[in-house]
């Protein structure tokens, strides 16, 4: 059971790569950004609370984000499984659609979009102590600034995300430099930071990440 953070600036491809890695290595993919966007889409009290914050490109409060992670970790393995994972598990165990799923050991998790502040790093360590987990590695996807801007602009042309406007993009990158980049230094000091070249095609970055993750999961 491993806990691995996939780190990177807006536009680095964290979500895309985390999805690919979770599928390949049978990991649970926890994306705080996706969780928050789902809350907004469903119009929940939390979604209404954070909607304007996200639309401005500001970072959502540490207590809210850590609370989402804590809630996910409190869920059983089966609650974290999506429908495709459940189908595979049922077939592997020879179970019918109405048979209860067996509980599996705590899964390895890849965290996408979290932590984004040093305060969140510290809160995560406390949370892991309570859950009897530990952080195994932080994998940083490194992409040049000009490439980040180009990618976000390309995504903005096809996405329906309200945080992909020109003004919000610029603000998100400013927020990253001021509040999130210090997270790299925080984990570098602890010796858990691994940097991976994220420039080039998605497949090229994925190959590099797979090599790192294969080593992390088998050691």
Residues 6 or more apart whose Cβ sits within 8 Å of residue 64: 46, 49, 50
pLDDT in tens, the chain (219 residues): 799 999 999 999 999 999 999 999 989 999 998 889 989 999 999 999 999 999 888 889 999 999 989 888 876 544 455 555 666 666 766 777 778 766 655 678 999 989 999 999 999 999 999 888 899 999 999 999 889 888 888 887 776 666 667 778 888 888 899 999 999 999 999 888 999 999 989 999 999 999 999 998 887
The pLDDT score that the predictor gives to residue 153 is: 81
Q: Does residue 86 sit within a domain?
A: no
CA atoms lying within 13 Å on the CB side of residue 199: 6
Q: Does residue 47 sit within a domain?
A: no
Q: Does residue 156 sit within a domain?
A: yes
CATH number at residue 167: 3.40.50.300
Rounded Cα–Cα distance for residues 54 and 37 (Å): 9
Q: Residue 128, Cα to own-chain centre: how many angstroms?
A: 16
List, as one string, the DSSP characters of the chain: --EEEEE--TTS-HHHHHHHHHHHHT-EEEEHHHHHHHHHHHT-HHHHHHHHHHHHTPPPPHHHHHHHHHHHHHS-HHHH--HHHHHHHHHHHT--TTSPPPP-PPPPEEEES---SHHHHHHHHHHHHHHT----EEEEEE--HHHHHHHHHHHHHH---TT-SHHHHHHHHHHIIIIITHHHHHHHHHT-EEEEE--S-HHHHHHHHHHHHHHHHH-
Least Cα distance to 123 among 74, 62, 166 occurs for 62
The pLDDT score that the predictor gives to residue 163 is: 64
Q: Does residue 49 sit within a domain?
A: no
Token pair, residue 147, equals 């490439």
Q: Does residue 94 sit within a domain?
A: no
Q: Does residue 137 sit within a domain?
A: yes
Residues 6 or more apart whose Cβ sits within 8 Å of residue 139: 4, 5, 6, 7, 194, 195, 196, 209, 212, 213
Q: Does residue 143 sit within a domain?
A: yes
Least Cα distance to 61 among 36, 41, 31 occurs for 36
Q: Does residue 54 sit within a domain?
A: no
The pLDDT score that the predictor gives to residue 152 is: 84
Residue with tokens 């602009």, as numbered in its chain: 153
Domain range for 200: 3-30+108-218
The pLDDT score that the predictor gives to residue 72 is: 85
Q: How many domains does the chain have?
A: 1
């Amino acid at each position: 059971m491993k806990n691995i953070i996939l780190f990177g600036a807006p536009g680095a491809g964290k979500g895309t790569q985390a999805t690919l890695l979770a599928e390949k290595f049978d990991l649970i993919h926890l994306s705080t950004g996706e969780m928050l966007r789902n809350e907004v889409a469903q119009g929940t009290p939390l979604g209404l609370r954070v909607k304007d914050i996200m639309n401005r490109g500001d970072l959502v409060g540490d207590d809210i984000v850590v609370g989402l992670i804590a809630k996910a970790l409190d869920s059983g393995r089966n609650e974290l499984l999506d429908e495709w994972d459940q189908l595979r598990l049922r077939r592997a165990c020879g179970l019918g659609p109405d048979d209860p799923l067996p509980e599996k050991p705590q899964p390895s998790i890849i965290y996408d979009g979290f932590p984004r502040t040093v305060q969140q790093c510290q809160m995560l360590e406390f949370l892991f102590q309570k859950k009897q987990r530990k952080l195994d590695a932080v994998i940083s996807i490194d992409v040049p600034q000009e490439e980040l801007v180009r990618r976000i602009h390309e995504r903005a042309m096809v996405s329906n995300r309200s945080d992909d406007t020109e003004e919000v993009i610029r603000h998100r990158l400013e927020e990253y430099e001021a509040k999130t980049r210090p997270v790299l230094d925080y984990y570098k000091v602890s010796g858990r930071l691994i940097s991976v070249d994220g420039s080039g095609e998605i497949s090229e970055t994925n190959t590099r990440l797979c090599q790192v993750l294969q080593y992390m999961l088998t050691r």
